[in-house]
Amino acid sequence: MFDLATTSIGIVGLGYVGLPLAVEFGKIFPTLGLDINENRIEELRAGIDSTLEAAPEDLRQAQHLRFTSRAEDLASCNVYIVTVPTPVDGYKRPDFRPLIGASTTVGRLLKTGDVVVYESTVYPGATEEVCVPILERESGLRFNVDFFAGYSPERINPGDKEHRITTIRKITSGSTAAVAHYIDGLYQRIIVAGTHQASSIRVAEAAKVIENTQRDVNIALINELALLFDRLGIDTQEVLLAAGSKWNFLPFQPGLVGGHCIGVDPYYLTHKAQEIGYHPEMILAGRRINDGMGAYVALRVVKLMTHKRIPVVDAKILVMGLTFKENCPDLRNTRVVDIVREFCDYNAQVDVYDPWVDRQEAVREYGIEPVQEPKPGHYDAIILAVAHRQFRELGAERIRQFGKPNSVLFDVKYLLPANTVDGRL
């Protein structure tokens, strides 16, 4: 029933996850990428990727890849791969609307023998509990009789030019032994690093969600240590360098924890845990610590300003960086906005500067319009929030020129030498 030679792939969602996947499959298999954003389709057809994950040469090499904004164009496909986002709502609950919408779309296209693979991060059981019933309802077909499902969690690291989709080992799984073998073989055609075939979809879902939960909890520990060491008057970075001299000390750093994975995925796991009557204390404690770091940074800067007798009300603040991580334009779930909002609550005047972001997207997502260039000699405090290479190249002396003579320079990311800044985490 499952034959790689006759595989035709439809990718649903062409963001940071879907596009690199579509490009790699499009080098080998007939592949059609679907995105409901017509502007996104237009730029990709023109050989441009605004996420910067696929270079023009990558798009040219994918000779079997086409793009569309019309779902019905995917009707000829026999493998559907869903790569839509899985965010949380304002109450930190899983927001399944993108996944439900994509499943509804795919369900209406399903034919006997088709396979649907999900890459979106979810809690264990979500594929078969949330998505499969929608596929059955919309198609009128029977799961594991007429159509089949799989789960292969994404492992995309936005902005990382070393760890690419083909060089990161891929987890695969399927709803039957035969389809699991087929899905694994499909991904083996593009993943140079190889695959790991999980025993079930639920195991694969659980593996993905704990990858980022583990990182979240570890970063929360270091953030809490930073809070403690600040009160003790000890430089956190010096402590970490000293502890790191032991071979098995894990090299985590304090900081803001945002993005589409680490700052979101743990809530999917805690949601499922609470649904079955278990209260996940460590995971939620880590989330509380990490979600509070933006406010803590603002408080640290306010104290430094107070020591220099700089009034906070009407102070001019420059926040350098808005993306959730360095050297990429990804604004999803950035926690830099927490710093901005804290200073707005102090009635300070905040400018945000980030050479990587799309200004219209920043306005649309957060109501923040980044400045084109910071004003020299204008700011009472400067917060280096994201470690973009442009900021590293500027160096402390040139960054300080944006500030007034008595201004505060605070380094969230340890980008500058300790003796050139007024404070850091």
| Spatial separation of the C-alpha atoms in residues 152 and 293, rounded to whole Å | 32
CA triple 392-396-402, angle to 5 deg: 105
| Spatial separation of the C-alpha atoms in residues 8 and 182, rounded to whole Å | 13
| Spatial separation of the C-alpha atoms in residues 136 and 132, rounded to whole Å | 6
Residue indicated by tokens 């402390």? 396
Say if residues 306 and 351 touch (Cβ distance below 8 Å).
no
Residues β-bridged to residue 385: none
Give the active site residues. 261
The count of residues in the chain is 425
Residues 6+ apart with CB under 8 A from 394: none
Residues 6+ apart with CB under 8 A from 127: 118, 149, 151, 201, 205
Half-sphere exposure of 402 (CA within 13 A, CB side): 25
